[in-house]
Chain A
Amino acid sequence: MNKQTKLLVGVAAALACTVASTHNTLTSYYVPAGYMQDLEIRVTHGCKDSPVKEFRVKIPDGVVRVQTQYTRDWTVEKRMRKLPKPVPGDGGNMITETVDEIIWKNPKSPMPAAGVYEGFHFRAAIPDTPGQILFFRSINVCASGEERYVDLPTEPLDASTPNLPEKLLKFMMATPTPSAFVIIEKPTRPQYPFASMAPKK
Chain B
Amino acid sequence: MRCRSIFAAACLFLLPALAQAHAVLLDSSPKSGEMLATSPKEVTATFNESVGPIFFRILDTSGQEVGKPGEIRLDGARMILPLNDSLPNGTYLLTYRVISADTHPVGTTFGFSIGEPMRATSAASAASETRSKWSPLVGINRWVLYASMLWAAGSVLFVLALAPSAPVAVTSMRGGRLAALLSAISFVLAIGFGGADMRLAGFDGLWAAETWRTGLGSTLAASAALGVPGMLLLMVALNANDRPRTGFATVGAALAIGSFLVTGHAATAPPAWLMAPIVGLHLVSTAFWLAALLPLRHAARVLPAGEAGELMDRFSRYAVPAVGIVLFSGIAISWRQLGSPMRLIDNPYGLILATKLALFLCILAIAAYNKKALTPQLGLGIAGADARIRRTIGVELSIYFAVLLAAAGLTLTTPPRALVAGAAPNATAAMTADGTWRKNVKDTAGYSVDLELSPAKAGQNMLMATLKDRDGRPITNAAALDIVVSLPAAGISDVRLKGQDVGNGMWHVMIEEMLIPGEWKLAVEAFVTDYDKSTFETTVPIG
Contact = CB atoms under 8 A, between A and B. Distances in A.
A169 interface: no
B532 A146 contact: no
Interface string A86-115: 000000000000000000000000000000
B445 to A, nearest CB: 11
Contacts of B480: 146, 148
B75 interface: no
A151 B531 contact: no
B444 to A, nearest CB: 9
A125 interface: no
B248 interface: no
Interface string A146-165: 10101100000000000000
Interface residues of B, number: 7
A151 B533 CA distance: 7
B471 interface: no
B484 to A, nearest CB: 9
Interface in B516-541: 527, 530-533
Interface in A102-150: 137, 139, 145-146, 148, 150
A56 B527 CA distance: 15
A148 B530 CA distance: 8
Contact of B530 (A139, A145, A151): A139
Interface string B493-507: 000001000000000
A165 to B, nearest CB: 25
Contacts of B533: 148, 150-151
A155 to B, nearest CB: 11
A58 interface: yes
A175 to B, nearest CB: 10
Contacts of A150: 527, 530-533
Contacts of A151: 533
Nearest to A137: B531
Contacts of B498: 145
Contacts of A56: 530
Question: Chain A CB within 10 Å — which of B527, B530, B531, B532 has the most?
Answer: B531
Contacts of A145: 498
Interface in A5-22: none
A139 B480 CA distance: 12
B534 to A, nearest CB: 11
Interface string B410-432: 00000000000000000000000
Nearest to B530: A139
Nearest to A149: B531
A146 B531 CA distance: 12
Interface in A58-72: 58
Question: Chain A CB within 10 Å — which of B527, B530, B532 has the most?
Answer: B530
A148 B533 CA distance: 9
A113 B532 CA distance: 25
Contacts of B527: 148, 150
Contacts of A148: 480, 527, 530-531, 533
Nearest to B496: A176
A167 B530 CA distance: 26
Question: Chain B CB within 10 Å — which of A145, A146, A148 has the most?
Answer: A148
Contacts of B531: 58, 137, 139, 148, 150
A72 B24 CA distance: 53
Nearest to B482: A148
A191 B498 CA distance: 47
Nearest to A148: B527
Interface string A23-66: 00000000000000000000000000000000010100000000
Nearest to A152: B533
19 contacts: A56-B530, A58-B530, A58-B531, A137-B531, A139-B530, A139-B531, A145-B498, A146-B480, A148-B480, A148-B527, A148-B530, A148-B531, A148-B533, A150-B527, A150-B530, A150-B531, A150-B532, A150-B533, A151-B533
Interface of B: 480, 498, 527, 530-533
Given A56-B530, A148-B530, A148-B533, 9 more contacts: A139-B531, A145-B498, A148-B480, A148-B527, A148-B531, A150-B527, A150-B531, A150-B532, A150-B533
Q: Which 5 A-B pairs have the closest CB atoms?
A: A137-B531, A58-B531, A150-B531, A150-B533, A139-B530
